[in-house]
Structure 1
């Protein structure tokens, strides 16, 4: 069945309220289809074009010639044989599979003069960037395969704070050169970087500014390591991509993207060191891969603010399964640049260890965009620093409720710039260790809607917050918390159902606040196990909660 027909069928079932039975089963049985590239068996060894694995010779011209020649002959395989291959930027071509042998290290040079300034994309906006170590635009049928290592030499590009290094690491870094900030707390790669940091609008193109105007700040425009734009039938398989200057893998406006058994390794303190960012792409499979990232691990995006809304290209029809994420800011993430929307995304059988947040969904006012039809099951988490699951529409800022406990002020108008999170279906999450099990925090003018979380266990310090939300369903959930006063905090939220909730020692089961808090149901739950059942405040009526005694 086609993706379109499947999507329509799912939508009909969801509208009919059949998620827990028919819709859930149907959605997982009819996953999106992703087409893989197919290549001729013809193989070109880069040695044929004069490449040398001596760690000294810059092989940029040799490798690019091999890629271009392979494409010109109708495609095939470009072989990177065992050895250390120093190179500058490489440009992919259609119908070419660049195969990095198991014992090969493709090392990108730290000579920044080899990377010219180009018009690229940064965090959802068109912007000046240094040319990516590997790039491709408007291509069909491309791949990077093998079990070798691709290293971006990112440490020469990134700034870093002193508090993110040991004393010995800091002293070694300062001795290598660069610039230390006036307060002695940060290190920058060069004065060129500092100039870009201090110049408003650095990197902006337009209003009379051209790329050349940004030459004085060249070092500031750190490249993403692998950038593929508007490409179809893409395969990344087996390789290790590590030490990126910024994002490691960035796919933009691509279709039929497969990422299998890839390893991404960025230092935990690598600035903007995302593992993979899939932006405005459709028909995507990410499976069997491992991400150890300095920022978000597996991230879904679709452009930022008005620019993203004008592009109008959601990321859709995505399968993410059998992956492991270490020490990232988020294990699986949507946002915050999601202005084109995201939909029909299926995440299953993933493990997150030591990430800041497990499942992370973030946006803010001004983004716009709709994120919907997100299906998640069988997620294991360990040693999460903050929330196991986070829905946050105040990314980058504080909600009014953080300061005054509950906010009943007049809401701002809903416009095309108002983001929307809705129709998330989460089943079988087990979290062993986190600061908080669940945070749902919507906007007063646009609450988070239709969140279903079932059959899950959270061993955390704190329980759950439900703030500015509607149609929230938690069923068969066990909370094991240390600070449970309250276990569940509800602010200005309505149509919230808790069905068969179990918990450990709890002082206060519910704290309910705000005049908008209504129709909160507690079903099949023994509320007598808590020292106190409920506390009402800030205008919440006692009639707001009904159900188990």
Structure 2
């Protein structure tokens, strides 16, 4: 009787996304008046017809495998010219689902799509010369596709993921080990099975949960995406992507449990999304190494607005795979609560690529365990955790080549953080300093203040930096730095510490340093001549 009612009601309730005029206006508003030119992505439009998966044999009892029913419903809808494939309330166990062009996979309230834990239902395939496991949800070379509604998509990632002992409490670890699986020889990493410990095995090659490759006009609107084997949502080489109103969840200890990874994508708008994940929440990438540089496909024309991130390694992250470049990014009105690092930028020698024309406005943070804003060009390698001391040896500077990453023309305005370990950490490379970074109207409270190593062309205007100890600003081997109208807590030990023989052309403008124990300290070969000018140094 229930399905009869669905059959009667669907013609009345089914709504074509052709009504997307308001959505077009909304996306248009979110992409208007940007500091770079961007053509707003258009949402997909579908015919006004719907197909229930139950009409193709699906049973939502949580143990019947519905892989065939999903495939038949999608195929029938595609053959009819497209429309909406409807997943009604229930627990729908299934193997991998392959989308088709002109299809909206729609999850009603109460629908849980649960991907099987049986590894035999996942096959290994070739993708660009690499062996990969097919993803639970996949689309390759499609146009006009969507995943919408208010249901939940669960990737059964706990059947795939290793877990590090250091990421769990003693009780959690004890219970996990008692549940079965296998431990590595050191006994500090748990695997779901011995097979999962073997490189190259199917169990070891964890898939991304939602893999969208070379697709155009993509909409993700409404569902919860959770418990992914690897990254949660991975659009790769996609164009015209709209992501809104989604929730992305992974356990905080989930290895590589990213939220949304936009990889060499163009014309993307992400808004009103919530993330609570085990790795980077919103991540911008463009591939790694020579192949990505030759492809020359940047991640570009990206707008991120009105998003909330709870746990994650980074609230918004750029890199580390950015060999194709990242440019024209605008993020506005986002909140990070307890995120490991707020705004995160990472790369390393050998990656190459140019990251430029990035704008971050109105970002609000609280309880950040590391850096509110952090740059490192030594990701995965040797990066100084603290600034160089007076006895720091000279470093050997390698030549600049195509593998040298470049970060430049990046702007931060109205950034507020209540509590972090460090306010700002800019660490470039001696052969390629971070260049052209602007901070305006920022207020950051932290244990440690603003640190800068291997940077040039940094301008800091109307910044309130509130460290609990040490110096407000610590600048090493950097040049062409302007600090204007900065505020700091009374009684701070040092306002500005300069170090390194390559530090020079530092300007202080309209700053009262009389409330600091010392105004400027020179260390590790820094010359007093490095200070180009002072204005209102002491009352």
Does TM, scored on the shorter chain, surpass 0.5?
A: yes
Conserved in 2, the CA contact under 8 Å of 1:45 and 1:81?
yes
Secondary structure of the equivalent of 2:486?
A: strand
In structure 2, C-alpha distance between the alignment counterparts of 1:29 and 1:516, rounded to whole Å: 34
Secondary structure of the equivalent of 2:105?
A: strand
Secondary structure of the equivalent of 1:319?
A: strand
1:503 equivalent to 2:510? Answer no
Runs (5+) with no aligned partner, structure 2? 1-31
In structure 2, C-alpha distance between the alignment counterparts of 1:72 and 1:333, rounded to whole Å: 40
Q: Which of 153, 158, 161 is matched with 1:155 structurally?
A: 158
Alignment of structure 1 residues 127-138 onto 2, 5 Å: 127-138=130-141
Alignment of structure 1 residues 45-444 onto 2, 5 Å: 45-120=52-127, 127-196=130-199, 202=200, 217-399=201-383, 405=389, 406=392, 408-444=394-430
- Check 1:384–1:32 CA distance in 2 against 1; reply closer, same or farther (3 A cut): farther
Conserved in 2, the CA contact under 8 Å of 1:154 and 1:245?
yes
Conserved in 2, the CA contact under 8 Å of 1:289 and 1:324?
yes
Residues 485-533 of structure 1: per-residue CA shift (max 9 Å, x gap): 2221111111100000000031011111112111100111101111001
Conserved in 2, the CA contact under 8 Å of 1:238 and 1:263?
yes
In structure 2, C-alpha distance between the alignment counterparts of 1:66 and 1:350, rounded to whole Å: 38
Once the two structures are overlaid, the 10-residue window that deviates more, 31-40 or 138-147, is: 31-40
Residues 57-82 of structure 1: per-residue CA shift (max 9 Å, x gap): 10001011111111111100000011
| Equivalent residue, structure 2, for 1:214 | none
| Equivalent residue, structure 2, for 1:481 | 467
In structure 2, C-alpha distance between the alignment counterparts of 1:33 and 1:90, rounded to whole Å: 29
Secondary structure of the equivalent of 1:501?
A: coil
| Equivalent residue, structure 2, for 1:213 | none
| Equivalent residue, structure 2, for 1:530 | 516
Q: Offset of 1:172 from its aligned partner? A: 2.9
1:512 equivalent to 2:498? Answer yes
Q: Offset of 1:182 from its aligned partner? A: 2.9
Secondary structure of the equivalent of 1:330?
A: coil
Residues 98-142 of structure 1: per-residue CA shift (max 9 Å, x gap): 001111000111111111112248xxxx63222110000000000
Conserved in 2, the CA contact under 8 Å of 1:31 and 1:319?
no
Residues 35-68 of structure 1: per-residue CA shift (max 9 Å, x gap): 1110011100001100001111100010111111
Secondary structure of the equivalent of 1:383?
A: strand
Residues 443-493 of structure 1: per-residue CA shift (max 9 Å, x gap): 01000000001001001111011111110000000011112x222111111
Conserved in 1, the CA contact under 8 Å of 2:362 and 2:414?
yes
Conserved in 2, the CA contact under 8 Å of 1:358 and 1:381?
yes
Conserved in 2, the CA contact under 8 Å of 1:407 and 1:514?
no
- Check 1:195–1:47 CA distance in 2 against 1; reply closer, same or farther (3 A cut): same
In structure 2, C-alpha distance between the alignment counterparts of 1:371 and 1:92, rounded to whole Å: 33
In structure 2, C-alpha distance between the alignment counterparts of 1:167 and 1:437, rounded to whole Å: 32
Q: Offset of 1:175 from its aligned partner? A: 2.9
What is the total number of aligned residue pairs between the two structures? Answer: 501
In structure 2, C-alpha distance between the alignment counterparts of 1:534 and 1:149, rounded to whole Å: 56
Conserved in 2, the CA contact under 8 Å of 1:301 and 1:338?
yes
| Equivalent residue, structure 2, for 1:13 | none
In structure 2, C-alpha distance between the alignment counterparts of 1:501 and 1:120, rounded to whole Å: 52
In structure 2, C-alpha distance between the alignment counterparts of 1:151 and 1:274, rounded to whole Å: 14
Q: Offset of 1:31 from its aligned partner? A: 4.9
Once the two structures are overlaid, the 10-residue window that deviates more, 485-494 or 264-273, is: 485-494
| Equivalent residue, structure 1, for 2:478 | 493
1:41 equivalent to 2:44? Answer no
- Check 1:240–1:317 CA distance in 2 against 1; reply closer, same or farther (3 A cut): same
TM-score by length of 2: 0.90
Secondary structure of the equivalent of 1:347?
A: strand
Secondary structure of the equivalent of 1:376?
A: strand
In structure 2, C-alpha distance between the alignment counterparts of 1:539 and 1:165, rounded to whole Å: 45
Q: Which of 429, 433, 448 is matched with 1:462 structurally?
A: 448
Runs (5+) with no aligned partner, structure 1? 1-24, 197-201, 203-216
Secondary structure of the equivalent of 1:170?
A: helix
Conserved in 1, the CA contact under 8 Å of 2:443 and 2:464?
yes
Q: Offset of 1:26 from its aligned partner? A: 5.8
In structure 1, C-alpha distance between the alignment counterparts of 2:103 and 2:172, rounded to whole Å: 41
Secondary structure of the equivalent of 1:77?
A: strand
Q: Offset of 1:400 from its aligned partner? A: 6.6
1:471 equivalent to 2:446? Answer no
Secondary structure of the equivalent of 1:444?
A: coil
Conserved in 1, the CA contact under 8 Å of 2:275 and 2:281?
yes
Secondary structure of the equivalent of 1:386?
A: strand
